[in-house]
């Protein structure tokens, strides 16, 4: 989308901009975009602010339509979009507010391996991960699930694959919602979706998905880092992946089923990609139940890849993963809709919170957090790009007050994939990464070109906005040293 945004943007403070609800007919609330002076110029370069305004027209939307600083153009909702609707006030659920890759998310594994001791083995490690973790378009996993097993997996979440030997009991506690959203109904998932998912659980996929070996370069919050087990100079592993073809098909099926639903309920939309249904309607409940099933599939998939990564490390370092202390720090979703309680006009109200390219950032004391994280807040995992850095943050009280417990999910694209490929003509992205100290392996012909560092915003600016706005606080900076991609 090459057109730029020309509508109003009113500065509220150093980190927030407003699109007033007077901007276009049908807006029920203001739009709020989190950005600094540098980021806002990039954000105005496409029509994603227009999507923020469009989302503000959804029935039952509460307070405002939000965009995190990694905002860019998406399907219906912008990527980086957050919106909460009140089902008791006609609030809707919109598949465009979740995205095609349901429960795309990130998990981080810490280790006790010092980079200084391991740097001569990093290339061997990356090659081992590339052999052991299926990645790329059409790549099947090490485990094939029949229809009955898939349905159990989608109903039980992470615990199902941990019981089958793919992980540790402690992984479940360190996963958002314990790797299970209650209320999934796998019987409503289409045979086509089941077929697509039968051999894809435990596979990385393609596009911007990755498994990355990193070194903890800098600690900003020693107390929080200690609770997470992050030590300066030690290796970590970050996994970014989602629900693969199964989740894509669930979204595709829902969009087809909901195409006439807005008209049925008298909902007027400025963009048909915002197709939606009231949360309490049969159509809305059907989508929620299938979305939850796909979300549980994605948690199982990342859990299996965690097992594969531990096995690869154990082979390379000739030491069991337990002795390498490869503990899961956290796993958090960033393409999801969940029912969560918030204070609305002094009343605790269950809202349907859409997070599309946005992640939870619950503050200290939140009852949904594992006990060990309640004193510091929820870990927030923000991957950057292959050449610069990723960040670990913790949620702050401001998130509950201003962003429905949400933070950014990554750096955010500033170039389309096509533009990134064109910009890489005559260059070797693999060599450029190696010159930065990053060993990269990709299955696809254009994987590295599409995902080159220049294709993304500077993640330091992105996390800086939410740190300064007291939404999430910086804990640690992680520098990439090895990456595998589809």
- Catalytic site positions: 409
In a 13 Å sphere around the CA of 265, the CA atoms on its Cβ side amount to 22
DSSP collapsed to 3 states, the chain: CCCCCCCCCEECCCCEEEECCCCCCCCCCEEEEECCHHHHHHHCCCCHHHHHHHHCCCCCECCEEEEEEEEECCCCCCEEEEEEECHHHCCEECHHHCCCCCCCEEEEEEEEEEHHHHHHHHHHHHHHHHHHCCCCCCCCCCCCCCHHHHHHHHHHCHHHHHHCCCCCHHHHHCEHHHHCCCCCCHHHCCHHHHHHHCCCCCCCCCCCCEEEEEEEEEECCHHHHHHHCCCCCEEEEEEEECCHHHHHHHHHHHHHHCCCHHHHCCCCCCCHHHCCEECCCHHHHHHHHHHHHHHHHHHHHHHHHHHHHHHHHHHHHCCCCCCCCCCEEEEEECEEEEEEEEEECCEEEEEEEEEECEEECCCCCCCCCCHHHCCCCCEEEECCCCCCCEEEEEECHHHHHHCCCEEECCCCECCCHHHHHHHCCCCCHHHHHHHCCCEEEECCCCHHHHCCHHHECCHHHHHHHHHHCCCEEEEEEEEEEEEEEC
Those residues whose C-beta lies under 8 Å from the C-beta of residue 79, and which sit 6 or more positions away, are: 48, 70, 71, 72, 73, 99, 356, 357, 412, 413
Give dist(CA 332, CA 194) in Å, integer: 24
- How many residues appear in the chain? 486
| Of 410, 321, 313, the residue nearest 358 (C-alpha) | 410
| Pair 449, 198: CB distance under 8 Å | no
Handedness of CA 329, 334, 339, 345 (dihedral sign): positive
């Amino acid at each position: 989308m090459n057109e730029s945004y020309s509508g109003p943007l009113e500065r509220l403070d150093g980190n927030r901009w407003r699109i007033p609800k007077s901007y276009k007919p049908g807006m029920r609330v203001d739009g709020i975009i989190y950005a600094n002076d540098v980021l806002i110029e990039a954000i105005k370069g496409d029509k994603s602010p227009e999507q923020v305004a469009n989302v503000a027209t959804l029935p039952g939307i509460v307070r405002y339509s939000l965009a995190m600083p990694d905002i860019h153009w998406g399907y219906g909702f912008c990527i980086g979009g957050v919106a909460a609707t009140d089902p008791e006030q006609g609030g809707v659920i919109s598949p465009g507010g979740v995205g095609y890759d349901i429960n795309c998310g990130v998990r981080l594994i810490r280790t006790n391996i010092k980079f200084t001791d391991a740097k001569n083995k990093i290339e061997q490690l990356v090659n081992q991960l590339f052999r052991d973790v299926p990645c790329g378009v059409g790549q099947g996993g090490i485990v094939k699930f029949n229809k009955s097993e898939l349905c159990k997996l989608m109903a039980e979440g992470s615990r199902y694959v941990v019981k089958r030997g793919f992980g540790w009991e402690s992984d479940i506690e360190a996963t958002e919602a314990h790797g299970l959203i209650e209320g999934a109904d796998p019987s409503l998932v289409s045979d086509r979706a089941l077929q697509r998912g039968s051999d894809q659980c435990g596979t990385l996929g393609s596009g911007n998905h990755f498994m990355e070996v990193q070194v903890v370069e800098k600690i900003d919050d020693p107390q929080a880092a200690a609770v997470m087990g992050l030590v300066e100079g030690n290796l970590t592993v970050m996994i970014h992946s989602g629900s693969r073809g199964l989740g894509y098909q669930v979204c595709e099926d829902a969009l087809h089923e909901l195409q006439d639903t807005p008209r049925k309920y008298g909902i007027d939309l400025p963009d048909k990609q915002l197709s939606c249904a009231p949360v309490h309607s049969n159509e809305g409940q059907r989508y929620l139940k299938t979305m939850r099933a796909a979300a549980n599939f994605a948690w199982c998939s990342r859990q299996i890849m965690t097992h594969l990564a531990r096995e690869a490390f154990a082979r390379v370092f000739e030491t069991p993963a337990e002795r390498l202390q490869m503990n899961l720090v956290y796993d958090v979703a960033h393409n999801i809709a969940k029912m969560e309680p918030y204070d609305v006009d002094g009343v605790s109200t269950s809202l349907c919170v859409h997070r599309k390219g946005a992640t939870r950032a619950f503050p200290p004391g939140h009852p949904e957090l594992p006990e060990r994280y309640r004193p510091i807040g929820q870990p927030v995992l923000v991957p950057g790009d292959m050449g610069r850095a990723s960040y670990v943050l913790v949620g702050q009280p401001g998130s509950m007050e201003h962003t429905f417990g949400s933070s950014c999910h990554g750096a955010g694209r500033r170039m389309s994939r096509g533009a990134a490929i064109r910009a890489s003509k005559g260059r070797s992205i693999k060599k450029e990464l190696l010159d930065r100290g990053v060993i990269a392996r990709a299955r696809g012909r254009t994987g590295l070109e599409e995902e080159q560092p220049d294709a993304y915003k500077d993640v330091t600016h992105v996390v800086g906005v939410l740190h300064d706005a007291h939404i999430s606080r910086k804990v640690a900076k992680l520098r990439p040293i090895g990456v595998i991609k589809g």
